[in-house]
Amino acid sequence: MGKRFFSGALSIILLILGFMTNQETAYGQSPAEHDHPHSHYVEHDTVVSHKLIFPSKTPDRVIANLTVDPAHSFAVNWRTNQQIDLGFVEVTLATDGPEFLLRDVRKVKAISQQFENQNSREPLVKATFHSAVISNLQPNTTYVYRVGNGSEEDGYWSEWYQTTTAHDDIDAPFSFIYFGDAQNDVKSLWSRVIRNSYRQFPDVDFMLHAGDLINDRDANLEWGEWFHAGSFIHATIPSIMTPGNHEYRNGQLSSLWRPQFTLPENGPIDVVKETCYTLDYQNMKLISIDAEAFDENLEARAAQVKWLDSVLNNNTKKWTALTLHYPIFSTAKGRDNKELREALKPLMDKYKVDLVLQGHDHTYARGFVKNEGKGLTVVKDAGTIYAVSVSGPKMYESKDQEWMVRRGEYTQLFQIITVSKNSIKYGAYTPIGTLYDAFELIKKNGKKKLINKVPDTPIRLRKDFVKEE
């Protein structure tokens, strides 16, 4: 009775008050140096907001993550209310019809933890978060799985999802999508980016998020919008993510980060557990550096630099990609991550890292240090390719620099990256499918060549879209 009364009273209060607006629209605003979060809410339909914030007995926020062995395992997380204290994953080989239901479906017990948090200007949210790693799978194989608890008749289960493991042939082609900051207006304006990326490239193998997935680290409404925007895509295409400064406040990572995601735990120290890590996907070494921890915590800075040196020194993969939130070379006016660059760039040069995928600056730029504004199409020994991108609607102005091959402002983008034995192909696309930038890296016999394939579409700058008052 008490719980039902509380829930009903809360709904009435929300209906009367709504969510007050304190919106950081930031189209074209000049960024502060560290751009720490402010609560950001718009007026929502109360029923929709209630569903985005509060869990029920039925699983929500289902997401798959890559593991250190993506050819033989995947991780999955989800959320329920606290009336559900146990969770399970049912998994089996996918079939052409529903006959997989007639097979012996494997049942894996999840790790379940009760959790509660209350962000400023949001009600208290109590939930049970569930996580599981599904191992002993076959490579390059499609599985169906669902998450939940209870019997078929009176249980609470998700729908059946499909996901495919990595190939055991390390030279087999694979592809992934790279997103810069989603951050603001995620349900209304970022949703079209992730959904159109999937529409254009439904066969990608995983997604990579370069930080600032939302604006306010513990805002249940914003996290609800992020999961809503990606919907079933999060559950079918595994993700990896690195945190941005908006996943932090006062040096503390969002309390929801680890309950919501299951990421590799092979980083250097506990303070960057599941934020600094590495994994191998076929013939590519993927590395996440926690840039905010680097910036705010001297112990985490030293540990990550030493760890990265060791990881790169022992790397046996042909291709290497690194993701972090703060750019090695900032694109937005008034920003410069000098200490980060001085610590990490020598390692990238020494070990010949191929790609560095970044966010934070709410503009687009892609290039390499040796470019020097020459505008060459074919470049031998180009070194590391740096990309900064933004997928959400919050936009800044950028400063043209010689390392940039392609630059853009006021443009939401996602990047499709395809890796094969001897090449990496990269394309940056707008939400309506326009190709904005492209290149190919070719690596044979220890030699690397960059082919710039910038399309004829004109450069997009803020001044062409926003009239100054």
Domains along the chain?
174-464 (3.60.21.10)
Q: Which pLDDT belongs to residue 469?
A: 59
> pLDDT for 220-247, tens place per residue?
999 999 999 999 999 999 999 999 999 9
Q: Which pLDDT belongs to residue 121?
A: 85
Q: Closest Cα to residue 348, out of 378, 305, 291?
A: 305
- Please list the pLDDT of the chain residue by residue as tens digits (469 residues): 443 333 444 343 333 333 333 333 343 444 544 444 444 444 456 777 888 999 999 999 999 999 999 999 999 999 999 999 999 999 999 999 999 999 889 999 999 999 999 998 899 999 999 999 999 999 999 999 999 998 888 889 999 999 999 999 999 999 999 999 999 999 999 999 999 999 999 999 999 999 999 999 999 999 999 999 999 999 999 999 999 999 999 999 999 999 999 999 999 999 999 999 999 999 999 999 999 999 999 999 999 999 999 999 999 999 999 999 999 999 988 899 999 999 999 999 999 999 999 999 999 999 999 997 777 899 999 999 999 999 999 999 999 999 999 999 999 999 999 999 999 999 999 999 999 999 999 999 889 999 999 999 999 999 998 876 5
Q: Which pLDDT belongs to residue 19?
A: 35
Cβ atoms within 10 A of the Cβ of 241, count?
24
Residue 424 token pair: 């990496």
Q: Are 165 and 141 in contact (CB under 8 A)?
A: yes
Cα dihedral value 138, 139, 140, 143, nearest 10: 30
Q: Which pLDDT belongs to residue 385?
A: 98
Mapped to the 3 state alphabet, what secondary structure does 330-391 carry? CCECCCCCHHHHHHHHHHHHHCCCCEEEECCCCCEEEECHHHCCCCCCEEECCCCEEEECEC
> pLDDT for 156-204, tens place per residue?
999 999 999 999 999 999 999 999 999 999 999 999 999 999 999 999 9
